[in-house]
Amino acid sequence: MTAGFDTWDYVVFIAYAILILGVGLWVSRDKKGHQKNAEDYFLASKSLPWWAIGASLIAANISAEQFIGMSGSGFALGLAIASYEWMAALTLIIVGKYFLPIFIEKGLYTIPEFVEKRFSTNLKTILAVFWLGLYVFVNLTSVLYLGGLAIETIMGVDMMYAIVGLALFAAAYSLYGGLSAVAWTDVIQVIFLVLGGLVTTYLALNTVSGGEGVMVGFHKVWDAAPEKFHMVLEEFNSDGSVNSNYLDLPGIWVLIGGLWVANLYYWGFNQYIIQRTLAAKSLKESQKGILLAAFLKLLIPLIVVVPGIAAYVMVNDPEIMATLGEVGQLNKPSLEQADKAYPWLLQFLPTGLKGVAFAALAAAIVSSLASMLNSTSTIFTMDIYKQYFNKEAGDKKTVNVGRITAAVALVIAVLVAPLLDGLDQAFQYIQEYTGLVSPGILAVFLLGLFWRKTTNKAAIWGAILSIPVALALKVLPKQLEAFDWLAPWMHQMGLATLLSMGIIMILSNAEGKGTDDSKGIPLTKELFKTTPLFNIGSFVVMVILAVLYAIFW
């Protein structure tokens, strides 16, 4: 057993890289006599079928923050972190039924564009700047950092070189080809992602069982660490001590509180996720893609959370550690360095399979980077550049500006990513700090979509004030004992959303009857009508979710 890569691992990984680059450049090529226009570059010519949309949604979503960050959280606090994945399945159904019909009917390129049509250019610009900052300084940087950490741990490559390599790999096809290259390579990436993830889960559980198989291994993991298989965490441990994990996942409030803010914001109003649904052939095709993604979401905890729990059992079992030899001591995870769990497991895969599993991790990282870059360039080009710098920009100029924007964003992220070194449970970090921005954005969108009286001025003030409100709620529990109940950041996020909505509603009403609500969206039953396939699929997803929560409550 060796910790590094063998020849066949390199062969497998290089073959994967060539395949992705080849497909990306092939679908990116300009058709004879056709110059790539804005719709081609930013919305894949609105030609994506449902299966490409579903695969691309998952590939864009599952990245290093899930494989490494969520496995790390699985190691530290257990299956409860899977609420993000399983509740996302239900959120996708909501987005497909109630949000997508409005977005596609309005023919959007970007989410900020909806804000302009519903409210004003000023509010669109404010939110576009919010998103650009979030994508570059939180999303891109964290994915690059975690990817660099994985390569450094597994292959021994210096983190900075690893970060630059990942950035160049993602840029090689996404900057040239746009969303079409990103979406079609995502179909391949998601196959690697799922199969490679299942290989790692199989290895971990089979190792725990001493070679007796996955089911025996799963039962042994459950018996050895039953406290890791509770979806709803208690505030206090059985001995009366405070459960420190409750601050990240506050019990039943995960199901009825702040996690809904994170999920609705992410899946409904996040450009780099929703962009591939806007590129569908039709609304029905887009909704079928959403349904496929919802079913895949139910599977994801098996490949990103269970390995982390298995690693926890392995590390704390002297007999298992003895069978792993010296390699088992290399980069060993701990509760203080939980994010090492997934890269540590990859060390034990047989030659060849290690290359497959690492290709899966690289696929997750690169596909998310490509998606974020494309969406960053789309928002800047369509909502900032064309609005303020060159309203008459033609297709060629628009596409070139998009490519330059993505390149600049990538360079900034590469420079900032190493500054995250030493961060633990990065998945929770990303969620917590995204939570400073998401309440205001979610409040503006929910009221803009479903409350016709929402005014432009009120929405602007609601978005702007949401940041100091979120920061105040973050500081209060540390300063005043009476606000201890606000210590979990999910509570802060949920309350910040309600307060932001309250601000918008109060100010909207204060503007009085003279306010023009002609931009309000008329809501009809026909608008939200869905196919029998979507309805039946949604019901099946909800039944499966109910069973999962009943088993692992």
Q: Is the dihedral of CA 465, 471, 476, 479 positive or negative?
A: negative
Using CB atoms within 10 A of its CB, is residue 127 exposed (0-12), middle (13-18) or buried (19+)?
A: buried
Structural domain of residue 306, as residue ranges?
A: 7-13+48-415+424-552
pLDDT of residue 44: 53
Separation between Cα atoms, residue 464 and residue 135, nearest integer Å: 18
When comparing pLDDT for 85 and 486, which is higher?
Answer: 85
Max mean pLDDT range (28-37, 324-333, 406-415, 487-496): 406-415
Distances (CA, A) of 240 to 224, 235, 268, 482, 553: 21, 9, 40, 21, 20
* Spatial CB neighbours of 426, under 8 Å, sequence gap ≥ 6: 65, 68, 69, 72, 142, 145, 146, 339, 420
* Cα radius of gyration (the chain): 23
99 neighbors 287 (Cβ within 8 angstroms): no
In the prediction, which pLDDT does 349 show? 78
The residue-averaged pLDDT of 188-198 equals 80
What is the band of 548 on the pLDDT scale with cuts at 50, 70, 90? very high
As given in the structure block, the two tokens for residue 533 are 């396939």
Q: What per-residue confidence (pLDDT) applies to 32?
A: 61
The 3 state secondary structure assigned to 98-148 is: HHHHHHHHCCCCCHHHHHHHHCCHHHHHHHHHHHHHHHHHHHHHHHHHHHH
Query: Which tops the pLDDT comparison, 43 or 469?
Result: 469
Q: Is residue 133 part of a domain?
A: yes
Across 201-219, average pLDDT: 88
pLDDT tens figures, 475-527:
887 777 777 777 788 888 889 999 999 999 999 988 865 445 567 777 788 88
CA neighbours closer than 13 Å in the CB half-sphere of residue 320 = 22
One DSSP character per residue, 427-469 reads: HHHHHHHHTTTHHHHHHHHHHHHH-TT--HHHHHHHHHHHHHH
**Total number of domains in the chain:** 1
Residue 500 lies in a domain: yes
pLDDT-based confidence at residue 1 (cuts at 50, 70, 90): very low
pLDDT band at 37 (very low <50, low <70, confident <90, very high): low
Directed axis angle between helix 141-155 and helix 395-416, to 10°? 60
- Residue 373 is part of a domain; what is its CATH number? 1.20.1730.10
Beta strand spans in 372-411 (E): none
- Read off the tokens for 470: 């979120």
Q: Which residue has the higher pLDDT, 531 or 187?
A: 531
What's residue 543's pLDDT? Answer: 96
Q: How confident is the model at residue 426 (pLDDT cuts 50, 70, 90)?
A: low
- In a domain, residue 192? The reply is yes
What length does the chain have?
A: 553
Q: Tens of pLDDT along 359-379?
A: 777 777 777 787 788 788 888
pLDDT at 119 over 70: yes
Structure tokens at 163: 């970060």
- pLDDT of residue 139 exceeding 60, the answer is yes
Indicate the residue type of 247.
Answer: L
pLDDT digits (tens, 9 = 90+) for 451-472: 888 888 899 899 889 989 988 8
Question: Running DSSP on this structure, what letter comes out for residue 477?
Answer: H
Q: Is the pLDDT of residue 424 over 60?
A: no
- In DSSP terms, 242 is beta-bridged to 236
Per the prediction, the chain carries an average pLDDT of 82
Residues 429-443: tens digit of each pLDDT: 666 677 778 898 899
Residue 275 has pLDDT above 80, yes or no: no
Between 26 and 287, residue with greater pLDDT: 287
Query: Residue 38 — very low, low, confident or very high, per pLDDT cuts 50/70/90?
Result: low
What pLDDT, on the 0 to 100 scale, is given for residue 514?
A: 43
Kindly report the pTM of this predicted structure.
0.84
C-alpha closest to that of 119 among 469, 448, 553, 505 = 448
Question: 178 lies in a domain?
Answer: yes
Strand, helix or coil for residue 304:
helix
Residue 30 belongs to a domain: no
Query: Residue 363: inside a domain, yes or no?
Result: yes
Q: Is the pLDDT of residue 202 over 80?
A: yes
* pLDDT digits 0-9 by tens, 384-400: 888 888 877 777 788 78
509 falls within a domain: yes
Position 43 in a domain: no
Q: What percent of the chain has pLDDT over 90?
A: 18
